[in-house]
Amino acid sequence: MKRVVIVGGGFGGLNAAKVLGSRPGVDVTLIDRKNHHLFQPLLYQVATAGLSPADIAAPIRGLLAGHRNVRVLLGEVTKIDLAGRTVAVSAERFPYDYLVLACGAQHAYFGHEEWEEFAPGLKTLEQATEIRRRVLSAFEEAELERDPQRQQKFLTFVVIGGGATGVELAGAIGEMSRYTLARDFRTIDPTMSRVILIEAGPRILSAFAEKLSADATRYLEELGVQVRLSCMVTRIDADGIEAGGETTPAATVLWGAGVKASGIGAMLGSELDRQGRVIVQPDLSLPGRPEVFVIGDQAHCRDEHGEPLPGLAPVALQQGRLCARNILRDQRGEPRKSFSYLDKGHMATIGRSRAIGEIRRVRFSGFIAWLAWLFVHIYFLAGFKNRFFVILHWGWSYLTFGRGARLITSREWRSYPGSTGGDS
């Protein structure tokens, strides 16, 4: 019986466990810090009150309940002993014959870690509900505020980073203020709010063709989002931001500009790239350690042109399956296979009815792309129940322009930095 320890229940780890589940000869332990698998591509919908946390997350235990040889543990890995082949969770040690590391990535602030407090990133459910709280609270503060300058500050939303996360956040906030909240307030007019998307490079969504970037920029502008390109952020604090020499007072700043791999990679003593990703062999194993695999956002793996693969859900999912199959090939005495990414295309959505997409050389944008995006995302949502309810929630929101999950839940709704609330 081979003991396989998988660290991380994201797309990579979960799919590795599913392939190994119920196979004879393997005994799987999946360790995660969270009890739920998260459908990260839709996290921005939670942050902007379109969906509830439970719509895009499912308990890992429930997803793997049918695989009797898989054990799920909630815990944080504190040490990896490669020579002794054990993983430590607090005082407990788990011996392994195979180790799969699929610990994902988190936001990086390029040496400005002090910015995180003022500009949270979007990688976890907790961050999503925190962003939701900040965005909704800013409208509430503006409604209470009498000073026009401070009111404008509360109605200014800055999103840093023109990748998919930043574009989707900016589009959703623009849409929310234009449509959902338009009738809710009496003192302020939410449609007067400013949403600014800042990108350091010359265009947004640079992973897509130039024509599609231009389409996405136009869609954002139609929702009232101001797109600032080739603009570097030099300061973020409670007052707002400074970018391209210009100061913008803003109560809400969100970060979608950079990622770095999980710190667990550094425990391996192996070579890392600049983003902290572990450089892996073509079969996804650690150089010199064929029994250790690193996959997903945590791994630096090159495609056939020698380019590192992007940190996308389909890459992690396919890598999870491949490394599990390589473990099974070992058992059967067959040679391992190298990873080859089957690119089914990539997409990004802007607001309630626009998207852009690229499938190999085919490019599409607008409403048709949005429909395609909708179906692809619903199809890949883990667990049939979630898929079913997300369709309904979206159908409802689409027809009514509503956002049902507009909840501010926290002891202190005013506890974000930049608040000038007087109740402190």
Q: Which of residues 182-241 bind its own copies (CB under 8 A)?
A: 183-187
3-state secondary structure of 119: coil
**Helices and strands counted in the chain (H then E):** 10, 25
Closest distance of CB 335 from its own copies, Å: 33
Q: Is 423 one of the binding residues for its own copies (CB under 8 A)?
A: yes
* Minimum CB–partner distance for residue 422 and its own copies (Å): 4
> Among 55, 48, 374, 350, which residue's Cα sits nearest to residue 180?
48
Closest separation in Å from C-beta 163 to its own copies:
25
C-alpha–C-alpha distance, residues 100 and 220, integer Å: 40
- The nearer residue to its own copies, 140 or 330, going by C-beta atoms, is 140
Helix spans in 340-383 (H): 367-380
Q: Is 233 helix (H, G, I), strand (E, B) or coil?
A: strand
Question: Longest Cα pair distance anywhere in the chain, in angstroms?
Answer: 74
The binder of its own copies chosen from 48, 52, 262, 349 (CB under 8 A)? 52
Residue choice 34, 150, 289, 363 for contact with its own copies (CB under 8 A): 34
Does 400 bind its own copies (CB under 8 A)? Our answer is yes
Which residues have C-beta within 8 Å of that of residue 373, sequence separation ≥ 6?
347, 348, 349, 355, 357
Q: What's the rounded Cα separation, in Å, for the pair 100 and 388? A: 31
User: Which one, 207 or 407, has the nearer CB to its own copies?
Assistant: 407
Query: Quick one: which segment of 100-108, 232-240, 247-255, 397-405 binds its own copies (CB under 8 A)?
Result: 397-405
396: contact with its own copies by CB under 8 A: yes
Nearest-angstrom CA–CA distance, 21 and 98: 14
Report how far residue 350's alpha carbon sits from residue 47's, in angstroms, rounded to the nearest whole number.
15
Amino acid at 174: G
Cα(302)–Cα(260) distance, rounded to whole angstroms? 17
- Catalytic residue, chosen from 92, 116, 145, 168, is 168
Q: Is 1 in the site for its own copies (CB under 8 A)?
A: no
Among the listed residues 17, 57, 158, 381, the single contact to its own copies using CB under 8 A: 57
User: Residue 422, interface with its own copies (CB under 8 A)?
Assistant: yes
Binding segment for its own copies (CB under 8 A), chosen from 30-38, 204-212, 252-260, 317-325, is: 30-38
Round to whole Å and give the CA distance between 77 and 89.
Answer: 5
- Contact between 305 and its own copies by CB under 8 A: the answer reads no
Q: Which of 76, 114, 210, 246 binds its own copies (CB under 8 A)?
A: 76
Q: To 5 degrees, how large is the angle CA 379–CA 170–CA 417?
A: 120
Which residue in 82, 114, 86 sits closest to 3, CA to CA?
Answer: 86
Residues 107-166 that bind its own copies (CB under 8 A): 125-126, 129, 136-137, 140, 143-144
> Token pair 């995006």 is at which residue?
373
Non-local CB neighbours of 380 within 8 Å, separated by 6+ positions: 39, 41, 313
Out of 91, 147, 149, 288, the only residue in the binding site for its own copies (CB under 8 A) is 91
Alpha-helix runs per DSSP H in 176-297: 210-222
Q: Please, what is the minimum distance in Å from the beta carbon of residue 76 to its own copies? A: 6
CB of 165 to its own copies, least distance (A): 20
CB of 230 to its own copies, least distance (A): 36
What is the secondary structure of 78-95 as a DSSP string?
EEEETTTTEEEETTEEEE
Q: Is 402 in the site for its own copies (CB under 8 A)?
A: yes
Q: Does 73 bind its own copies (CB under 8 A)?
A: yes
168 is catalytic: yes
- Report in angstroms how near the CB of residue 139 gets to its own copies at its nearest: 9
Q: Which residues are catalytic?
A: 168
Q: Which residues bind its own copies (CB under 8 A)?
A: 33-36, 52-55, 57-59, 61-62, 65-66, 71-76, 78, 89-92, 125-126, 129, 136-137, 140, 143-144, 181, 183-187, 385-386, 388-389, 392-393, 396, 400, 402, 404-411, 413, 421-423
